Chains A and B, each alone.
Chain A
């Protein structure tokens, strides 16, 4: 079997409590050994001096738009964006057209990823048929097709009894339910955070409580059922207080946030910037601070992107008519690294939130560099300086509020199950 030796990088692997200069030996599709100075003659060697070597990053919340919206993104362009951003695996949400609510939809996504031979795709199946919140999908079939989680993301499950039954039934298959918390009536026709900025701009507001009242309900339902519940894209201080309390009392819940919620406030919407329009919306500075605190104290388990590509013409419209969502795969790592620079997170914390914890949430044995583990490895140059350039995205879309931002740190090399899919920041010739 082919061997690759990644030499002299700073290996950060929170599961194995590793943080030091070491070599990583990959054999075939598995990790063979991690140790200081491995003296073997490998088939290929890579000098990682000055770089940080981590288990492959995992993003459990992306939208790849296939099938149905291939003009926004496809599995192929999405996986290229993922690899460029340092991710070896992603979880696409099922709000496609038609909705990914059948076993064959899961098999299609897994098959596409296999054909492309880049990163892994672990699909999320819908909780309810057509994401209508009425009838449950066949959880067992979805799991057999490759689903690792269930979600109606993009739409809340308003009917409390449906969510209750879904949480109960999911226990048979040990599938996590990823919930998008949104009280439809409080949300109303809102298109940005409700507050002074929405008053100034004359845009219908979405109160924080549209998120937090559903967080409160869902905690109760998780307790009632014993089902595994994961909160998607938490944006507010109020929701975090509820989640912190629930975790302290032993509820089976986990939670994620996204980089835009710890870097931007609703002021990013000023001048009607549709690239700052997403759901849940950007909140206030107090929420930003609360999210950082919650990442630090573990209330927030994971950082995801909610990568939501939209075409230029869709975003080039009146603010209230533009779709919600921004892309994030190619900026997430550098934006999260700013938290390491600020002292909010340590390197091992960061790797936990972007690799080990996401793997744990979806119940896969990844996110670590143990001997015999899958050889998913991300090599990061922490000193690389770059600017976000709209012409340089691998994603099909450019809807990022971070255009022009100065960044520090980026993935240079990505190994997925031993395959060197990103090499020195480039895709090897001949790869798709």
Chain B
């Protein structure tokens, strides 16, 4: 909800899909965050369940292995009393050459209300939403976006820092191949944060500064100004594309070590979407240290996904 001139504008959610943060307005982002706040309390109760989505069916359609995101969505759906079904690519008909829209239409024919999809192709969620009437939530599409991760990151930053406007956030690592980075950038910029992306020149995508971010190749130069360090997972298989010569050199230049942390603000918070390569992008002591909010991100992920499932599934179709 946006407050302008002291008058509260009630934002109504009108989307059956959540495909990207790019498509959301500032008000829509704020609405999800507010709803997530109230759902967060549900998970702390003795009886962790509300009947908000009773009688609704949510399908998890995962074409890429992902334990944490799938589990987080499943827990979120169950806490809202929805029925959940899981499809994963191995053993499903896609391995027999069925097209994505055919697979989805089959699931939809079982009267599923909302499909949560993880897919290795950028734009797969947009494509799916065009082909079916059920709602689609993008749980990560290629290197495009991972909107619920972006929202839970912002939720966690807001929880810790009490504001997003003016907050200095640095995304560190493989920006080129990161859907988390793109979702963070869109959301943070819409809410007025100052965003820096920092990584080796080979892993900074062309034209990224046009999204309103600062670009740096030197972590030591930018670390001291930041309120939030959001560390991206380095995908070890990327080494084959000649993006960087060795894990060792990557860790030396961009890894968040105890030593490097000395240059950071005392109250900086450390985030990571997981799973962590300990000793590569993040030293074990830092990951487990007092500034780390990595497990809060996991907890908040459930609340944010409850909010997203609630709004998209309950929208008038």
| CB of B314 within 8 Å of the partner chain | no
| CB of A316 within 8 Å of the partner chain | yes
Question: Would A318 and B207 be within 8 Å (CB), given that A201-B144, A202-B143, A272-B127 are in contact?
Answer: no
| CB of A199 within 8 Å of the partner chain | yes
Question: Contact at B122–A199, with CB atoms within 8 Å?
Answer: no
Q: How far is the CA of A196 from the CA of B179 in the complex (A)?
A: 15
Question: Contact at A198–B206, with CB atoms within 8 Å?
Answer: yes
The residue from B100, B101, B206 contacting A196, defined by CB atoms under 8 A apart: B206
Question: Would A320 and B99 be within 8 Å (CB), given that A198-B205, A199-B207, A202-B143 are in contact?
Answer: no
| CB of B182 within 8 Å of the partner chain | yes
Distance (whole angstroms) from the CB of B201 to the closest CB of chain A:
14
Which of A178-205 touch B at CB < 8 Å? Answer: 188, 194-196, 198-203, 205
Question: Would A199 and B206 be within 8 Å (CB), given that A318-B127, A319-B123 are in contact?
Answer: yes
Q: How far is the CA of A198 from the CA of B144 in the complex (A)?
A: 9
Q: How far is the CA of A202 from the CA of B208 in the complex (A)?
A: 11
Question: Would A317 and B122 be within 8 Å (CB), given that A198-B206, A199-B206 are in contact?
Answer: no
Contact mask for chain B residues 168-210; partner A; CB cutoff 8 A; 1 contact, 0 none: 0000000000010010000000000000000000000111101
| CB of B42 within 8 Å of the partner chain | no
Which of A312-365 touch B at CB < 8 Å? Answer: 313, 316-321
| CB of B132 within 8 Å of the partner chain | no
Question: Contact at B126–A320, with CB atoms within 8 Å?
Answer: no
| CB of B121 within 8 Å of the partner chain | yes
Which of B265-295 touch A at CB < 8 Å? Answer: none
Q: How far is the CA of A319 from the CA of B126 in the complex (A)?
A: 10
What residues on B are CB-neighbors of A201 within 8 Å? 122-123, 144
Which of A201-242 touch B at CB < 8 Å? Answer: 201-203, 205
Question: Contact at B207–A196, with CB atoms within 8 Å?
Answer: yes
| CB of A271 within 8 Å of the partner chain | yes
Question: Contact at B207–A202, with CB atoms within 8 Å?
Answer: no
Q: How far is the CA of A203 from the CA of B142 in the complex (A)?
A: 8
| CB of B124 within 8 Å of the partner chain | yes
| CB of B227 within 8 Å of the partner chain | no
| CB of B305 within 8 Å of the partner chain | no
What residues on B are CB-neighbors of A188 within 8 Å? 241
Distance (whole angstroms) from the CB of A191 to the closest CB of chain B:
9
- Taking residues whose C-beta sits less than 8 angstroms from the other chain, chain A's interface range is 20 to 34
The residue from A194, A205, A271, A317 contacting B126, defined by CB atoms under 8 A apart: A271
Question: Contact at A202–B145, with CB atoms within 8 Å?
Answer: yes
| CB of B119 within 8 Å of the partner chain | yes
Q: How far is the CA of A158 from the CA of B142 in the complex (A)?
A: 29
Q: How far is the CA of A205 from the CA of B121 in the complex (A)?
A: 14
Question: Would A203 and B123 be within 8 Å (CB), given that A316-B101, A317-B99 are in contact?
Answer: yes
Question: Contact at B122–A319, with CB atoms within 8 Å?
Answer: yes
Question: Contact at A319–B210, with CB atoms within 8 Å?
Answer: no
Question: Contact at A320–B121, with CB atoms within 8 Å?
Answer: yes
Q: How far is the CA of A317 from the CA of B179 in the complex (A)?
A: 20
Q: Which of B119, B207, B210 has most chain A Cβ within 10 Å?
A: B207
B interface size (C-beta, 8 A) = 26
Contact mask for chain B residues 102-126; partner A; CB cutoff 8 A; 1 contact, 0 none: 0000000000000000010111101
Question: Contact at A316–B99, with CB atoms within 8 Å?
Answer: yes
Contact mask for chain B residues 59-103; partner A; CB cutoff 8 A; 1 contact, 0 none: 000000000000000000000000000000000000000011100
Which of A361-398 touch B at CB < 8 Å? Answer: none
Question: Contact at A202–B122, with CB atoms within 8 Å?
Answer: yes
Question: Contact at B144–A318, with CB atoms within 8 Å?
Answer: no
Question: Would A318 and B121 be within 8 Å (CB), given that A202-B179, A313-B99 are in contact?
Answer: yes
Question: Contact at B124–A318, with CB atoms within 8 Å?
Answer: yes
What residues on B are CB-neighbors of A195 within 8 Å? 206-207
Question: Contact at A272–B126, with CB atoms within 8 Å?
Answer: yes
Q: How far is the CA of A155 from the CA of B143 in the complex (A)?
A: 27
Question: Contact at A202–B206, with CB atoms within 8 Å?
Answer: no
Question: Contact at A321–B121, with CB atoms within 8 Å?
Answer: yes
Q: How far is the CA of A202 from the CA of B144 in the complex (A)?
A: 4
Q: How far is the CA of A195 from the CA of B121 in the complex (A)?
A: 18
Nearest chain-B residue to A321 (Cβ)? B121
Q: Which of A188, A195, A199, A202 has most chain B Cβ within 10 Å?
A: A202
Q: How far is the CA of A203 from the CA of B141 in the complex (A)?
A: 10
Distance (whole angstroms) from the CB of B238 to the closest CB of chain A:
13
What residues on B are CB-neighbors of A199 within 8 Å? 205-208, 211
Which of A271-317 touch B at CB < 8 Å? Answer: 271-272, 313, 316-317
What residues on A are CB-neighbors of B22 within 8 Å? 200
What residues on A are CB-neighbors of B122 within 8 Å? 201-203, 272, 319-320
Nearest chain-B residue to A197 (Cβ)? B207
Distance (whole angstroms) from the CB of A206 to the closest CB of chain B:
12
Please, could you name 29 A-B residue pairs with CB atoms under 8 Å apart, sorted by A?
A: A194-B206, A196-B207, A196-B210, A198-B205, A198-B206, A199-B205, A200-B182, A201-B123, A201-B144, A202-B141, A202-B142, A202-B145, A202-B179, A202-B182, A203-B123, A272-B126, A272-B127, A313-B99, A316-B131, A317-B99, A317-B100, A317-B127, A318-B119, A318-B123, A318-B124, A318-B127, A319-B127, A320-B121, A320-B122
Q: Given A196-B206, A199-B207, 20 other A-B contacts at CB below 8 A?
A: A195-B207, A196-B207, A199-B208, A202-B122, A202-B123, A202-B142, A202-B179, A203-B123, A203-B142, A203-B144, A271-B126, A272-B123, A316-B131, A317-B99, A317-B101, A317-B127, A318-B119, A318-B123, A319-B123, A320-B122
Residue positions of B touching A, CB distance < 8 A: 22, 99-101, 119, 121-124, 126-127, 131, 141-145, 179, 182, 205-208, 210-211, 241
* Shortest 8 CB-CB contacts between residues of A and residues of B: A196-B207, A202-B144, A272-B123, A318-B121, A202-B122, A199-B205, A202-B143, A319-B123
